[in-house]
């Protein structure tokens, strides 16, 4: 899966751009884990947790949905 990124889509804030890049990397890792049927190792509240990739993708979709609903409020 290849995503074409328009540089104009990023804010000029380097910290936000870095967070966006990390989010995309997490989604790519989840897709790879799902394809190979393996668990993901993620950090939650300072703890290392093994997560099912489908669960990770579901949680990310919920977070994005919450961000978009808060942006529109």
Residue-wise pLDDT tens digits, 22-70? 889 988 999 999 899 999 888 888 899 999 999 888 988 888 787 777 7
- Confidence tier at 16 by pLDDT (50, 70, 90): confident
26 within some domain: yes
What phi-psi label fits residue 50: left (phi over 0), alpha (psi between -120 and 50 degrees) or beta? Answer: beta
Which pLDDT value is given to residue 50?
Answer: 92
32 within some domain: yes
Q: What is the mean pLDDT of the chain?
A: 81
18 within some domain: yes
Contact assessment for residue 43 and residue 26, using Cβ atoms and an 8 Å cutoff = no
Q: Domain of 19?
A: 14-72
Count of structural domains within the chain:
1
Contact assessment for residue 62 and residue 70, using Cβ atoms and an 8 Å cutoff = no
Number of C-beta neighbours around residue 30 at 10 A: 22
* The model's pTM: 0.61
Residue % of the chain over a pLDDT of 70: 78
The DSSP secondary-structure symbol of 7 reads G
4 within some domain: no
Report d(CA 30, CA 28) in Å as an integer. 5
56 within some domain: yes
60 within some domain: yes
6 within some domain: no
Which pLDDT value is given to residue 48?
Answer: 92
The pair of structure tokens assigned to 58 is 């579901």
Question: Has residue 10 got a pLDDT over 60?
Answer: no
């Amino acid at each position: 899966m290849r995503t074409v990124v328009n540089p104009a889509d990023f804010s000029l804030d380097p910290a936000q751009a870095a967070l966006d890049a990390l989010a995309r990397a997490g989604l790519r890792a989840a897709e790879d884990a799902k394809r190979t049927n393996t668990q993901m190792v993620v950090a939650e509240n300072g703890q290392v947790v093994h997560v099912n990739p489908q669960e990770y993708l579901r949680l990310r979709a919920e977070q994005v949905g919450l961000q978009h609903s808060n942006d529109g409020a």
